[in-house]
């Protein structure tokens, strides 16, 4: 795994942030946050971010489905400290867009997640609308 670009490791670069409590059941046998817990944190962050920006308002008769999801584990996470999940968009494609997420504990990035979503209706993939493209472009993760 290649180390993420430095801009991915700074929570200030993301337009959305959510603190999520950890649970004792999130631990593995080594007392570190397990991979299922990371997936849950990223799912909660992705869904709450989409609710925050009212994503469903832009999908009349359409839906966004996950085509690919990649998690990069960068450091061990612990309990009982909360995890802060940050989110924002990457550049949009013709029918797809990325939601880029990162998880932090004590200002240290412990994992990143790249979610690729595709717009679909009952007939198959649909182009990103101009209105949705404007939202994506206004909510991108800063690359500095």
Q: Write the CA distances from 25 to 32, 43, 68, 88, integer angstroms.
A: 10, 17, 27, 28
Domains of the chain, residue spans: 6-138
DSSP for residue 14:
-
The percent of residues above 90 in pLDDT, for the chain, comes to: 87
Report, as an integer, the average pLDDT of 68-93: 96
Q: What is the model's pTM?
A: 0.93
- pLDDT band at residue 2, thresholds of 50, 70 and 90? confident
Separation CA 89–CA 142 (nearest Å): 9
Report, as an integer, the average pLDDT of 21-40: 95
Separation CA 40–CA 20 (nearest Å): 10
Instruction: Check: CB of residue 77 under 8 Å from CB of residue 105.
Output: yes
Report, as an integer, the average pLDDT of 61-78: 93
Report, as an integer, the average pLDDT of 101-130: 95
For residue 58, the model assigns a pLDDT of: 78
Closest CA to 101 of 119, 126, 83: 83
110 or 55: which leads in pLDDT: 110
Contacts of 72 (CB under 8 A, 6+ apart): 1, 4, 111, 112, 113
Report, as an integer, the average pLDDT of 101-127: 95
CATH superfamily of 6-138: Hotdog Thioesterase (3.10.129.10)
């Amino acid at each position: 795994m290649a180390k993420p670009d430095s801009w991915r490791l700074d929570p200030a670069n993301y337009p959305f942030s959510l603190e999520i409590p950890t649970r004792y059941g999130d631990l593995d046998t080594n007392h570190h946050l397990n991979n299922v817990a990371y997936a849950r944190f990223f799912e909660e962050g992705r869904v709450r971010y989409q609710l925050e920006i009212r994503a469903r308002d832009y999908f009349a008769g359409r839906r966004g489905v996950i085509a690919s999801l990649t998690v990069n584990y960068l450091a061990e996470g612990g309990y009982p400290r909360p995890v802060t999940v940050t989110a924002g968009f990457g550049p949009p494609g013709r029918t797809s867009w990325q939601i880029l997420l990162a998880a932090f504990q004590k200002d240290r990035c412990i994992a990143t997640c790249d979610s690729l979503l595709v717009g679909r209706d009952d007939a198959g993939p649909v182009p990103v609308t101009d209105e949705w493209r404007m939202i994506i472009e206004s909510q991108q993760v800063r690359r500095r």
